[in-house]
Amino acid sequence: MPGGHAAGEDFRELHTMLSARARSVLVDRFGSGWSDAGTFPRTTAGEAEELLAALEGAGERAPFVLVGHSFGGLLVANAARRRPDLVAGLVLLDPTPPEVVAFAPRSRQLARMRRGFLLSAVRQLFGAHRGPGSRAGQGCAAASVFAELSPSGLARVGWETVVYDGDLGDLPLVLVIPRDLTGGEAVLAGARDAAEAERISRFYLRSRVRYLSTSTSSRLVHTPEGTGHDFPHEVPSFVVGVVGDLVRELRATGP
């Protein structure tokens, strides 16, 4: 699952490369790609249920290795918590830490993204945008999901959305993150001085590893030097290698 509220097509390159090693499935969640908008309000918890229902409904055979980037990582971790019987392992590609939504220094980035989705919906409504994802409801669906990605929104849905320490038991989990804030320097732009910049940097870097505590069978992998949050598009072959390694391990130890 790609980040943001992107369609499965966003991971086409990864999908194509992974297909040479194992069966790979792309899913257009409701409100993205060629899928309908779905029911409202859209939520991460609801989309986790829908993801699993889509796989089962399409006749795909569990257990699955779920791979998610950014908000897609939050989504697949939520799916694994709900149906551990369907999941063999997780690969989380710099997944969104809830702490960043709830406790990070104030940022207008998420609000701008939501406004962008709403503007896109208006353009789609009046026919200014055509092609995959051209229905107005899809822009509204993305904006609806992003409504929970705020301190107040997360407080309202936290129990259903957040994956807490130990929630995944001993599920094999690979957390893949950059070593530093390469590509994310904008988060330091509002720092008042060097001391606050250091605190902000420490907050983001340590929040990144929180998912390790969700499973007793987790491990950390760092991305190649010089890569940032968008590394699945920067170094797709590296991601394919990480996923392939986990699949081989799982095949060697189970059905």
Distances (CA, A) of 16 to 90, 122, 229, 237: 19, 33, 21, 11
Looking at residue 134, what is its pLDDT?
47
d(CA 105, CA 102): 9
What confidence tier does 133 reach under pLDDT thresholds 50, 70, 90? very low
Looking at residue 142, what is its pLDDT?
75
Contact present, 243 and 68 (Cβ < 8 Å): no
Assigned domain for 34 exists: yes
Q: Is the pLDDT of residue 180 over 70?
A: yes
Assigned domain for 119 exists: no
What confidence tier does 188 reach under pLDDT thresholds 50, 70, 90? confident
What confidence tier does 5 reach under pLDDT thresholds 50, 70, 90? confident
Q: Taking residues 209-233, report their average pLDDT.
A: 96
Crossing angle of the two packed helices 71-82 and 44-57, in degrees rounded to 10: 70
Q: How many domains in the chain?
A: 1
d(CA 115, CA 40): 17
Looking at residue 187, what is its pLDDT?
79
Looking at residue 38, what is its pLDDT?
83
Assigned domain for 52 exists: yes
Which residue do the tokens 């107040």 mark?
A: 152
**Range of the structural domain that residue 82 is part of:** 8-106+148-253
Q: Which amino acid is at 84?
A: P
Looking at residue 111, what is its pLDDT?
57
Q: Is the pLDDT of residue 128 over 60?
A: no
Which residue do the tokens 């499973």 mark?
A: 215
Assigned domain for 179 exists: yes
Q: Taking residues 3-27, report their average pLDDT.
A: 93
Assigned domain for 207 exists: yes
CATH of residue 46's domain is: 3.40.50.1820
CA nearest to 153, candidates 204, 102, 211: 102
pTM for the structure as a whole: 0.89
Q: Is the pLDDT of residue 118 over 60?
A: no
Q: How high is the mean pLDDT of the chain?
A: 88
Pair type for strands 173-177 and 218-222: parallel
Assigned domain for 217 exists: yes
d(CA 227, CA 250): 28
Assigned domain for 122 exists: no
Assigned domain for 240 exists: yes
